[in-house]
Amino acid sequence: MRHHTPFITLKIISNMSQAIKLSFQKQLVETKLQTTLQQLKSLEAIDPTENNKYLAWIASEYLKGSFSLDDTKTKHLITNLLLSFESRT
């Protein structure tokens, strides 16, 4: 059986703690990335144009807090507003 001095034991624990922190940070970043991708897909679904012509504007309004992705009435309102605007141009 191998025995470590207290300093080496603390160093091993410190390294393990750092590895665990990095693992959790990686999981957090991956979770945030998945959430962001899901939000982007939802924003794309609101854009009534085939080429996502208004996606930048929709995303900008969403980031300003103008609407929530959970509010289906708002999503329909935005879609109808853009369709109306698109038909006039």
Boundaries of every domain in the chain: 6-88
Q: What is the pLDDT of residues 15-42, one digit of tens each?
A: 767 778 788 788 888 888 899 899 999 8
Q: 47-73 pLDDT, tens per residue?
A: 888 898 889 988 988 888 888 888 767
Whole-prediction pTM value?
A: 0.62
Residue 37 token pair: 């991708």
**Residue 47 to residues 1, 41, 82, Cα–Cα distance (Å):** 65, 10, 8
**Confidence at 6, pLDDT banded by 50, 70, 90:** low
> How many whole angstroms separate alpha carbon 30 and alpha carbon 36?
10
Cα–Cα distance, 54 to 60 (Å, whole number)? 10
Q: Are 46 and 79 in contact (CB under 8 A)?
A: yes
Q: CA-CA distance, 54 to 29, in Å (whole number)?
A: 28
> 4 pLDDT band (50/70/90 cuts)?
low
